[in-house]
């Protein structure tokens, strides 16, 4: 099953939306610290509603901690980025992929970009900068599951 990973997210509401999507699709979520907000139960409950109780969330103290754990499990890190990437419609997702999404404000730093096993972009109209993190995550998660014939029935 592909997994979702959030690199130091800035906005609790985006994380809540992504967690809700992950629960609906049956996908685990990794969240890397530091985050741009305080992770507290009331705030996350408002953002993730009642889905939080059913979510499979792993919090990591750092990107390094996340990277070492994922690579030890033999998983492939697929970074969603607007820089030097394969268009999503041309990319072949695998069942062991971890779909990595950067910060809303800054994406990921160069070393994280370079460590990714693959880089994927969702094409947009020329001149547009980016899509909302939660929307990008939903599009990518659905495509990864669809390609692996793993969509919920």
pLDDT in tens, 11-24: 888 998 899 999 99
pLDDT confidence bin for 130, thresholds 50/70/90: confident
Q: What is 3-147's CATH number, 3.90.1150.10, 3.30.530.20, 3.40.1280.10, 3.30.360.10?
A: 3.40.1280.10
pLDDT confidence bin for 57, thresholds 50/70/90: very high
Sheet containing 29-32: give its strands across. Answer: 57-60, 29-32, 3-6, 97-101, 76-80, 118-121, 86-87
Over range 32-43, report the average pLDDT: 80
Q: How far apart are CA 40 and CA 4, in angstroms?
A: 20
Strand partners, 101: 6, 80
> What pLDDT score was predicted for residue 117?
97
DSSP code, position 106: T
Whether the per-residue pLDDT at 48 is higher than 60: the answer is no
Whether the per-residue pLDDT at 140 is higher than 90: the answer is yes
Asked if 130 and 35 count as a contact pair (C-beta separation under 8 A), the reply is: no
> What pLDDT score was predicted for residue 38?
76
Asked if 19 and 43 count as a contact pair (C-beta separation under 8 A), the reply is: no
């Amino acid at each position: 099953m592909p997994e979702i990973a959030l690199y130091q997210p800035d906005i609790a509401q985006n994380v809540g939306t992504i967690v809700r999507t992950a629960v609906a699709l049956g996908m685990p979520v990794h969240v890397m610290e530091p985050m741009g907000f305080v992770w507290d139960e009331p705030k996350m409950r408002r953002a993730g509603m009642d889905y939080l109780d059913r979510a499979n969330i792993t919090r990591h103290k750092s990107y390094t901690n996340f990277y070492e754990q994922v690579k030890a499990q033999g998983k492939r890190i697929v970074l969603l980025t607007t820089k030097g990437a394969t268009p999503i419609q041309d990319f072949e997702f695998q069942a062991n992929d971890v779909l990595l999404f950067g910060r809303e404000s800054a994406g990921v730093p160069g070393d994280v970009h370079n460590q990714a096993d693959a880089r994927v972009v969702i094409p947009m109209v020329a001149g547009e900068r980016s899509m909302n993190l939660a929307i990008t995550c939903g599009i990518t998660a659905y495509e990864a599951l669809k390609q692996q014939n793993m969509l919920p029935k």
